Amino acid sequence: MKTQAEVAVPAGGRELAAILTLPDRARGIVLFAHGSGSSRHSPRNRMVAEHLDAGGYGTVLMDLLTADEDSTELRFDIGLLADRLVAVLDWLPDVAALPTGLFGASTGAAAALVAAARRPAAVGAVVSRGGRPDLAANALASVRAPTLLIVGGDDSAVIELNEQAAVLLGAAAQLTIVPGATHLFAEPGALEEVSRLAREWFDRHLRP
């Protein structure tokens, strides 16, 4: 059994809309940071979240921007997005004091890595799907959480960016290529593979 609810998370004087799902006896919880132009209703991230839910993980799918803030400029404001994620990390223990992971897509992956660098004691693991870790800039060297970088095999420009980031992240990083997948992992079976890899990563690194 699980409970699911729409919640409002306070963050810097704003309230962020989120979907909180908690299975009975959850083993951990994963916060999702969406890419530019996406939201808590992203079908791709919801699919990954459902796979994690089935594995006993709670999930928080949230909008890092409010409706009146959703602009191209703010979608790429990694500092602001990371501030919002940190606010959610600080709020989460009031809801569920569980080992916590971050799952970031595209620009959301950069925000997740900056938040992990700011809250090393709160973040146990990070997974990036088609991420732009290069946008996390100087924060990469401060990330202590084991980080899985998942990139599509046909997403050549992003592969190179993730290879460079993996070096800066150090021994705690692993780069995994999904053959034949493009940036959005729209190919048959590609998102299923992302879901499997993410769950295995959190199984390995999110411990009480």
In angstroms, the Cα distances linking 118 to 13, 21, 174, 186 are 20, 25, 21, 32
pLDDT given for residue 37 in this prediction:
58
pLDDT digit string, tens, across residues 172-188: 899 999 999 999 899 99
- Percent of all residues in the chain with a pLDDT value above 90, rounded to a whole number: 67
Domains annotated on the chain, with CATH:
2-205 (3.40.50.1820)
Antiparallel, parallel or unpaired: β 100-105 and 28-33: parallel
pLDDT digit string, tens, across residues 13-61: 888 888 999 998 899 999 999 865 566 767 888 899 999 999 999 999 9
pLDDT given for residue 48 in this prediction:
94
- What whole-number distance in Å separates Cα of residue 60 and Cα of residue 40? 9
Q: 142 is written with which tokens?
A: 């401060």
DSSP codes, 129-142: ES--GGGGGGGGGG
pLDDT at 1 over 70: no
- What whole-number distance in Å separates Cα of residue 60 and Cα of residue 11? 15
pLDDT digit string, tens, across residues 99-157: 999 999 999 999 999 999 999 999 999 999 999 999 998 899 999 999 999 999 999 99
